[in-house]
């Protein structure tokens, strides 16, 4: 009987080893929530799987009304990666519990990957080496954990820091990070979803349809959006959840968020895409929004805030118009310039579409895989 138990135990351990993925990705987003960080995570994990990196995503438990396959379909992802629910990733539990109970599985994987400073610290508490994708430094500064993150990076427990912008990378270096173990990886876009969108029609710029997608709030430029709607230079369409009250204006239209797979059709029904992020937005220091790359891939004219992270992707007069985020008149003038100079509008839209090719999800995944040693 003891021999049988020993054999069963050995078989179970062997099966676990065979089943161990190359990469384990830990997330804190719940599958039933329509959040940008979840969508970005799903696309990244699916792209890693697509390029041949065997990846498993652990998330907190989700409502039974949604399944991984359904969520991926809503997000426009053609394949459903290996997604598993883990109760210990729920926010009610200390972040050290999951790595404590899953230590064997985590250590058998070739790499462990997170995008949450709390999960990074939890893994470090159990001496589990990992990689940390950095989206903003402000919350880490506010909570007083940035120095600890940098110390763990210098020690090698955080092997690679993966900021999503050069601006965030510069801030990490100024805080003391090891330059040799930083990989910059902006967000991405599913190029296949946007290929069918017809090119910009310059004839529609007489009164352009202006669209903004995402959470709607003052720190995301609601004042700019309201001003554009009141200026008479276009019809402004807002798609997303509202954090602040909307003005009652004839040319200001609002609708709730749509499944991510429908984003392409929203851009197809517009001429101008605006990204009026304000400097006080908490993640403005390292922002790399999916909607930017999607607007580029759709071949639409982009007007964006003139802030450092966006200037890494957008060049005023080449593939976009940049405007002072705190000057509504500058945004109105940018729209009127495009209305009057349709040749310029067409040039910006065409160049943006060409530039978007560099930001496909598989290319992003391949860059990450090379950086962390999973591919040569």
* Tens-place pLDDT, residues 92-132: 999 999 999 999 999 999 999 999 999 999 999 999 999 99
* pLDDT value of residue 34: 81
Does one domain contain both 277 and 365? no
181 and 51 inside one domain: yes
Residue 23 sits in the same domain as residue 170: yes
- Whether 266 is covered by a domain: the verdict is yes
Residue 308 lies in a domain: yes
Question: Is residue 231 over pLDDT 60?
Answer: yes
> Is 279 inside a domain boundary?
yes
CA dist 109 to 123, 174, 361, Å?
14, 31, 23
CATH of the domain at 329: 3.40.50.2000
204 and 278 in one domain?
A: yes
Residue 41: the pLDDT is 96
Average pLDDT on 283-301 reads 95
| pLDDT number for residue 229 | 97
Question: Would you state the pLDDT for residue 2?
Answer: 52
Residue 20: pLDDT over 80: yes
> Is 48 found in the same domain as 11?
yes
- Do residues 279 and 135 both lie within one domain? no
Is 376 within the bounds of a domain?
no
The CA distance from 294 to 211, in Å, is: 13
Confirm whether 252 is domain-assigned: yes
In this prediction, residue 7 carries a pLDDT of 44
Residue 41: closest CA among 133, 160, 153: 133
Report the distance separating Cα 58 and Cα 82, nearest Å. Answer: 9
If asked whether residues 205 and 336 sit together in one domain, one would say: yes
Q: Does 1 have pLDDT greater than 60? A: no
What would the mean pLDDT of 76-100 be, rounded to a whole number?
A: 94
Percent of the chain with pLDDT over 90: 90
- For 181, other C-beta atoms within 10 Å of its C-beta total 17
**Count of domains forming the chain:** 2
Query: 177: closest CA among 145, 154, 143, 144?
Result: 154
**Residue pLDDT, tens place only, 308-348:** 999 999 999 999 999 999 999 999 999 999 999 999 999 99
| Burial degree of 126 (CB within 10 A; 0-12, 13-18, 19+) | middle
In which band, very low, low, confident or very high, does the pLDDT at 64 lie, cut at 50, 70 and 90? confident
Instruction: Reply yes or no on whether the pLDDT at 191 is more than 70.
Output: yes
| Residue 10 pLDDT exceeds 50 | no
Check residue 18 and give its pLDDT.
52
The verdict on 350 and 367 lying in the same domain is: no
pLDDT: which is higher, 8 or 63 = 63
- pLDDT given for residue 90 in this prediction: 93
Report residue 3's pLDDT band, with 50, 70 and 90 as the boundaries.
low
Q: Classify residue 26: in a domain, yes or no.
A: yes
141 and 245 share one domain: no
Q: How many CB atoms lie within 10 A of CB 97?
A: 17
Rounded average pLDDT over 192-213: 95
Which contacts (CB < 8 Å, 24+ apart) does range 250-255 have?
252/225, 252/226, 254/216
Are residues 216 and 292 located together in one domain of the fold? yes
Integer Cα distance of 7 and 264 in angstroms: 54
Least confident of 29-43, 170-184, 288-302: 29-43
**Interatomic CA distance for residues 135 and 37, integer angstroms:** 10
What does the pLDDT look like over 236-282, one tens digit per residue?
Answer: 999 999 999 999 999 999 999 999 999 999 999 999 999 999 999 99
Within the chain, strands assigned E span 23-26, 55-59, 82-85, 111-114, 130-134, 158-163, 209-213, 235-239, 252-255, 272-275, 301-305, 321-323
Rounded-to-10 torsion of CA 5, 11, 17, 19: -120
Does residue 5 or residue 371 have the better pLDDT? 371
- Kindly state whether residue 338 falls inside one of the protein's structural domains: yes
Asked whether residue 166 falls in the same domain as residue 201, the answer is: no
Confidence of residue 8 (pLDDT cuts 50, 70, 90): very low
Mean pLDDT, residues 17-29 taken together: 86
In a shared domain, residues 127 and 139? yes
Confidence category of residue 189, pLDDT binned at 50, 70, 90 = very high
Confidence grade of residue 349 (pLDDT, cut at 50, 70, 90): very high
Q: What is the mean pLDDT of residues 280-301?
A: 95
Q: Is residue 216 part of a domain?
A: yes
Mean pLDDT, all residues of the chain: 93
SS3 323: strand
311: containing domain: 191-359
Q: How confident is the model at residue 19 (pLDDT cuts 50, 70, 90)?
A: confident
């Amino acid at each position: 009987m003891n021999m049988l138990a020993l054999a069963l135990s050995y078989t179970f351990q062997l099966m676990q080893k065979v089943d161990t993925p190359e990469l384990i990705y830990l997330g804190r987003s719940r599958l039933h929530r329509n959040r940008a960080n979840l969508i970005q995570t799903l696309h990244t994990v699916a792209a890693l799987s697509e390029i041949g990196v065997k990846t498993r995503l652990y998330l907190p438990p989700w409502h039974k009304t949604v399944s991984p396959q359904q969520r991926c379909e809503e997000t426009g992802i053609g394949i459903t990666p290996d997604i598993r629910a883990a109760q210990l990733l729920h926010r009610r539990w200390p972040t050290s519990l999951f790595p404590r109970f899953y230590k064997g599985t985590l250590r058998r994987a070739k790499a462990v990957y997170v995008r949450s400073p709390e999960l990074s610290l939890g893994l470090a508490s159990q001496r589990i080496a990992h990689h940390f994708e950095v989206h903003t430094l402000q919350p880490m500064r506010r909570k007083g954990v940035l120095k600890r993150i940098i110390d763990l990076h210098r020690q090698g427990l955080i092997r690679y820091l993966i900021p999503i912008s050069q601006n965030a990378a510069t801030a990490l270096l100024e805080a003391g990070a090891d330059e040799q173990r930083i990989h910059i990886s902006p967000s991405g876009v599913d190029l296949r979803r946007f290929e069918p969108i017809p090119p910009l029609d310059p004839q529609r710029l007489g009164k352009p349809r202006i669209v903004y997608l995402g959470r709607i709030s003052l720190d995301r430029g609601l004042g700019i959006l309201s001003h554009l709607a009141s200026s008479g230079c276009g019809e402004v369409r807002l798609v997303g959840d509202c954090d602040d009250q909307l003005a009652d204006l004839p040319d200001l239209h609002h609708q709730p968020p749509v499944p991510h797979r429908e984003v392409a059709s929203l851009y197809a029904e517009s001429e101008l895409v605006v990204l009026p992020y304000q400097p006080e937005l908490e993640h403005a220091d390292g922002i790399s929004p999916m909607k930017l790359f999607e607007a580029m891939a759709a071949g639409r004219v982009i007007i964006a805030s003139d802030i450092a992270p966006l200037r890494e992707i957008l060049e005023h007069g080449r593939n976009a118009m940049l405007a002072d985020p705190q000057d509504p008149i500058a945004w109105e003038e940018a729209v009127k310039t495009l209305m009057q100079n349709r040749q310029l509008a067409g040039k910006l839209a065409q160049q943006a579409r060409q530039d978007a090719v560099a930001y496909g999800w598989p290319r992003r995944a391949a860059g990450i895989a090379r950086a962390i040693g999973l591919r040569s």
